[in-house]
Amino acid sequence: MSYAQYPQDEKVKTLIDRIALNVATNGPHLANHILQKEQNNPQFSFLIPGGQYNDYFEYQKSLAIQQKQQPQPPSSQNPLYSVKHLGTIKNPAPLVQMRVDIDGIKNQIEALKAQIAESDKNVASQKHVLTQQLEVR
């Protein structure tokens, strides 16, 4: 199973997401109109089957169409990403790979290691004090 290529550039992702939502709302003629207007602009190649990010565009469009057909849930959660909602999509495009903040995770690991080292140091100090108290008795 292959995954849709996820746009790393946030501007490109936002453009694709907005156009996918508008095409889902207004119909495929909008995609054709945009493609005709922007035919020499490679940034819009996602509108062409097989073009860069086309799988991601089709996936986002199918999510928007499915959302439009479903009654809105009462919760404040985004229904596009709920598991229940994904389970009702007919022939969905492959799921998009999630972005992970590796540097942020590494920083958290280092902070936790420092806390553990400090805790070990405190335990050693307490053990030393308790040992001295036992020797005095």
The pLDDT tens digits of the residues spanning 8-47 come to: 899 999 999 999 999 999 998 999 999 999 989 999 999 9
Within-domain flag for 122:
yes
Distance CA 86, CA 68 (A): 13
- Quote the domain boundaries for residue 22: 10-86
Q: Is a pLDDT exceeding 50 seen at residue 86?
A: no
Within-domain flag for 5:
no
Within-domain flag for 91:
no
Residues 60 and 107 in one domain: no
Residues 107 and 50 in one domain: no
- In the chain, how many domains are there? 2
Can you give the pLDDT at residue 1?
A: 44
Read off the tokens for 10.
């946030």
What is this structure's pTM?
0.50
Distance CA 54, CA 48 (A): 7
Residues 112 and 65 in one domain: no
Q: What average pLDDT does the chain have? A: 81
Residues 74 and 111 in one domain: no
Structure confidence at residue 85 as a pLDDT band (50, 70, 90): very low
Can you give the pLDDT at residue 6?
A: 79
Residues 14 and 71 in one domain: yes
* Residues forming beta bridges with residue 4, ordered by sequence position: 96
